[in-house]
Amino acid sequence: MTPANSATPAEPAIASDVDPRYCYFFDDDKFEETDRPGFRKRVITGANLQLWFWRIKGGAEGSFLHHHQSNEQLGIIMRGTLDFRIGSPDDHSRKVLHAGDLYLAPKNVWHGESVFIGDDEYDEVWILDVFAPPRSDGGQ
């Protein structure tokens, strides 16, 4: 018998294509093409954060310097190499990140102008971007 004052955990409100508790994250069929050639993504959204899994072809173009007014962004490089900028638009220094490296772009911090150097197996760069709170712009 359940005590009258016990609470049952509520299921989170999730807007995604997966069971909110389990999925096979690397399912190739779940990635969607974007308007930028060579860029594919999979997005899973929770109540307070959002995960974007990017698979980007080596040499793909279309990364521009930008910032998010309402979101922090933490990126983890899973495969390949990312050569990019983060910081003031006037700071033209670049950083090269490899698999296992991460970056943090707080709200309103400029980042981008990326060069994508694909790995040996897929010729892709895999990046996990975590946004908090979730993005509402559906960015490409």
Mean pLDDT over 74-88 rounds to 97
Q: Quick one: average pLDDT of 70-87?
A: 98
Q: Is the pLDDT of residue 14 over 80?
A: no
Q: Is residue 74 part of a domain?
A: yes
pLDDT band at 71 (very low <50, low <70, confident <90, very high): very high
Q: Hunting for tokens 């093409």 — which residue is that?
A: 33
Which token pair is 22? 């389990």
- Structural domains counted in the chain: 1
For position 20, what pLDDT does the model report?
Answer: 61
Residue 42 falls inside a structural domain: no
Which tokens sit at 80? Answer: 């390949």
Task: Write down the pTM of the prediction.
Answer: 0.83
Domain that holds residue 69: 57-126
d(CA 52, CA 54): 6
Examine residue 28 and state whether it is found in any structural domain, yes or no.
no
Identify whether 4 is part of a domain: no
Query: How sure is the predictor about 135, in pLDDT bands with cuts at 50, 70 and 90?
Result: very high
79 belongs to a structural domain: yes
In a domain, residue 138? The reply is no
Residue 73 lies in a domain: yes
Q: What is the CATH number of the domain that holds 69?
A: 2.60.120.10
Asked whether 108 and 133 are in contact (CB, 8 A), the reply is no
pLDDT of residue 25: 82
